[in-house]
Amino acid sequence: MSEFARVLTTLRQIRGLSPFFALDVGRPDEGWHDGAALLDGSALPATVDRIAARYRTAERRVAASLFFLSYTARLLSPVVAARAVGGTAPDVRPANLWWRYDADGLRVRVKEPVGGVGIVESLAPVVEAVRSVAPVAPGLLWGNAASSAAGALRFVALGGAASAEECVALGEELFAEPPLRGCGDFVPFPGEVAFRRRSCCLYYRLDGGGKCGDCALR
């Protein structure tokens, strides 16, 4: 089986686990940004400004954190689920992405169904791009990534695609190296994937916002 076929087979396999595991492939309609627009140009700053306006916050770092939290949730969910079921995870580096932010929130898709690299290598350029837009601590952003990955593992276990014990073991493997190491801890809880991060995504700073289930401030 070719690499294209392995990736597409895996994406079909995990698609039904949760809407966040659905990752489309191929060139979209007009209105989408090339992934490279995350790293330079005005697309990312303008998107952060739109998020700030949407959530009525004057704190740009809060909007930047929310962007990256959504970004990692959309991309790490299929990557982690693919790993959990023993499939081939897609390449989610910016060069292989299309993305847009609209009334439905952030949407992403991959250009080609090819195998990817590690989480850190996939996300590191975007972390730096986000930090160039707003003064967000790197540990907070990597905590967002860890939270998204752990949340995906929880849904994988709930969906029965892998056991909770298998998902926790995979999570500990994924978080074994910096900058993900130290972002949080898996909490022993029979039959479930429970995670507590060591940073906060700043969602609580929005009007009407609260603390997430894995927040360090809870």
Q: Which of 17-31, 44-58, 88-102, 174-188 has the lowest mean pLDDT?
A: 17-31
- Please report, as a single letter, which amino acid is at residue 29: D
Question: What does DSSP assign to residue 90?
Answer: B
Q: Which two tokens stand for residue 114?
A: 């090819």
pLDDT tens digits, one per residue of 158-184 = 999 999 999 999 999 999 999 999 999
Q: What is the model's pLDDT at position 213? A: 87
Both ends of the chain: CA-CA distance in Å? 47
Phi/psi at 182 (5° precision): 90, 0
In 3D space, the residue among 79, 25, 78, 69 whose CA is nearest the CA of residue 209 turns out to be 69
Residue reference for tokens 């929880």:
154
Q: What is the model's pLDDT at position 98? A: 98
Q: What is the model's pLDDT at position 198? A: 95
Q: Which two tokens stand for residue 178?
A: 């910096």
Q: What is the model's pLDDT at position 44? A: 97
**Which neighbouring-strand residues pair with 51?**
none
pLDDT tens digits, one per residue of 94-139 = 999 999 999 999 999 999 999 999 999 999 999 999 999 999 999 9
Q: What is the model's pLDDT at position 146? A: 98
Q: Spell out the residues 6+ positions from residue 12 whose beta carbon is closer than 8 angstroms to its own.
A: none
Q: Percentage of the chain surpassing pLDDT 70? A: 100
Q: Spell out the residues 6+ positions from residue 218 whose beta carbon is closer than 8 angstroms to its own.
A: 211, 212
Three-state helix/strand/coil letters over 103-127: CCEEEEEECCCCECCCHHHHHHHHH
Instruction: Classify residue 45 as exposed, middle or buried by CB count within 10 Å of its CB (0-12, 13-18, 19+).
Output: middle
Average pLDDT over residues 23-41: 93
Q: Percentage of the chain surpassing pLDDT 90? A: 88
Q: What is the model's pLDDT at position 17? A: 87
Mean pLDDT over the full length of the chain: 95
Residue 218 above 80 pLDDT? no
Q: How far is CA 143 from the centre of its chain?
A: 11
